[in-house]
Structure 1
Amino acid sequence: MRILASAILAGATLATTAPARAQTYDPNYPVCLHIFGRTPYYECRYTSLPQCNASASGRGAQCVINPYFAHAEEPAGYRRHRRLY
């Protein structure tokens, strides 16, 4: 009887849980706003740090550089060297 009750309880628990949403960065914007709260999340829809900082002002938030920005360029002065043997 205990096994049956445990199985029903486990089944009900699994049936009522919702799948977790994966947090993703939007690769179209270079700056994201990291908002702190009950459920921290990122808003990646800013084109510059000053624009993001204006939105973050007075809130529990912080601006961060989007690590997945699709149009990122190589750092200035960076050159790949080919070795000729």
Structure 2
Amino acid sequence: MGLCTYFASVLIEQADDDLRDLPPVLWIGTSEHEIRNPAALVEPLRPYADLDQVMLDQLAADKAAAPERTALQRWGASLGKGWQR
């Protein structure tokens, strides 16, 4: 099974002494199979990042090379089934 979703988060850059806990500006790919291919990241991230074809190809290659989940990882993932925020 390997990686089950692509994800992205966009955070507000803060000074080192700024201790506020600011929420992410964008956080996608938080559920299994939410983003099935790298191209689906392009539009949501367009205001924040330029994802070129080289990067999309690298993301796809990384997913293809990902090892299968271990038994412990499969068990842990099963604990959250059906839970949504």
Asked if these proteins are the same fold (TM beyond 0.5), I'd say no
Q: Which has the larger radius of gyration?
A: 1
Q: More strand by proportion, 1 or 2?
A: 1
Question: Structure with the greater relative contact order (CA < 8 A, sep ≥ 6): 1 or 2?
Answer: 2
TM-score normalised by length of structure 1: 0.31
TM-score normalised by length of structure 2: 0.31
